[in-house]
Amino acid sequence: MIEVKHLFHDYAGKGEYAVKDVSFAIPKGEIFGFLGPSGAGKSTVQNIMTGLLALQKGEINYEGVSIKKVGRKFFNNIGVSFEHANLYTKLTGYENLKYYAGLFDVPTEDPKKLLEMVALADSIHKRAGSYSKGMKQRLVFARALINNPKIYFLDEPLSGLDPSTGSILKEIIKSKKQAGATIFLTTHNMFVADELCDTVAFINEGKIVAMDSPRNLKLQYGERSVKVEYKENGKVKSDIFFLDRDEDRQAFKKIVDTKEVQTIHTQEATLEQIFIKLTGRGLQ
């Protein structure tokens, strides 16, 4: 269990908080999505949680132990994937992983295996500086897996990846969850969050404005409606019915009973629509 309680952070020390009273808890083995636009405070929270930034005010506990007391051994248990590809550009992809593995006190994964997992097998001995943006992102992701951590901090792990490669990484993230890892996922991609996360928190201007499972958020903030496509007099027609209204419910039932229905789609709100509704701004 990771607990974050009443977290504040002020970069300049002038009372201008980049993070204001942020609290949440992540049960072991869950994926927690932190959604928000650039500059909302996502990376600040992650950096405090990983010890990169000093804890100024509030509490962060890992299995009940404060981050202030965990010591350097704590880093044997976490894997961090950064948004910006921070690699030794003069070293090859393999060397980047091999040397990083040498810094841990715990058994580490085979760098070659990891590079194969993220579809970099062909570029294993190329220097990281010659990698494309997407390749660098995958290498950074693979590096986060090197020590087989129990907790992952993934900052925009799918940013800049094509759908095919992105789905490979999503499968790896899911498999890590299956294996019992806890994952803190920072993203502004609502589809990624929707697909992967057990819980999402929306952060805007340093504050959490909503937090629940994607399904509950959609139910809570979306309008319950269905779109029905049906055949009438040889033509395909479509109608939207809002299920909270009696007349729409009856109309919908009548269509289903009397017409040749071709498709029925629920019309719940997307996470992005909910975010806009709550904050008045988009996620980009």
Partner 1 sequence: MKKFFTLLMQELKIIYRNHFVWFTLFLLAAMVIVVWLLPSEIEHKNSNFFYDATQSKMLESRLVSAGFPQENIVGSIEEIEEIIKDDRSNVGIMLEIIDGEAKFTVVYNGKLLPQEEKMIIAGLQRMYDEITGSEIVPVFEMETIRPEFKPLTISEISIPFVLTYETIVLGYLFVAVMVFLEKQEGSIRVYRVSPSGILNYILAKSILWMVLSVIYSALLVILTYGFNVNWAQLLLLLGISSLFMTLFGLFVSTFFNSISEWLFVAIGILILFSFPQISYLSPSFSPRWITLIPTYPIIFTVKDIIFDIGREGAFLKTMGILSIYTVVAFVLAYIAVNRKLMREGR
Binding site for partner 1 (CB under 8 A): 9-13, 47, 50-54, 56, 72-76, 78, 80, 82, 84-91, 95, 99-100, 102-105, 127, 143
Side-chain-side CA neighbours of 253 within 13 Å: the count stands at 7
Whole-Å CA distances, 259 to 243, 253, 267: 19, 10, 20
Q: How far is CA 107 from the centre of its chain?
A: 27
Q: Which is nearer to partner 1, 80 or 196 (CB)?
A: 80
Phi, psi of 122 (to 5 degrees): -75, -20
Q: Which is nearer to partner 1, 89 or 266 (CB)?
A: 89
Distance CA 69, CA 88 (A): 30
Partnered with residue 199 across adjacent β-strands are 32
Least Å distance between CB 79 and partner 1? 8
Q: Which is nearer to partner 1, 89 or 216 (CB)?
A: 89
Are the C-beta atoms of residues 39 and 207 closer than 8 Å to each other?
no
Least Å distance between CB 191 and partner 1? 27
Q: Which is nearer to partner 1, 75 or 202 (CB)?
A: 75
Q: Which is nearer to partner 1, 48 or 190 (CB)?
A: 48
Whole-Å CA distances, 210 to 62, 99, 274: 23, 41, 9
Among 96, 98, 50, 53, smallest CA distance to 77 is for: 50
Are the C-beta atoms of residues 228 and 239 closer than 8 Å to each other?
yes
Least Å distance between CB 139 and partner 1? 11
Characterise 21 by phi-psi region: left (phi > 0), alpha (psi -120 to 50), beta (else): left
**Sequential DSSP letters for 64-100:** TEEGGGS-GGGGGSEEEE-SS----TTSBHHHHHHHH
Are the C-beta atoms of residues 4 and 47 closer than 8 Å to each other?
no
Q: Which is nearer to partner 1, 190 or 203 (CB)?
A: 203
Least Å distance between CB 76 and partner 1? 5
Q: 284 is written with which tokens?
A: 């980009």
Partnered with residue 266 across adjacent β-strands are 226
Q: Which is nearer to partner 1, 87 or 203 (CB)?
A: 87
Q: Which is nearer to partner 1, 13 or 64 (CB)?
A: 13
Least Å distance between CB 105 and partner 1? 6
Least Å distance between CB 169 and partner 1? 18
Least Å distance between CB 85 and partner 1? 8
Least Å distance between CB 74 and partner 1? 8
Partnered with residue 238 across adjacent β-strands are 229
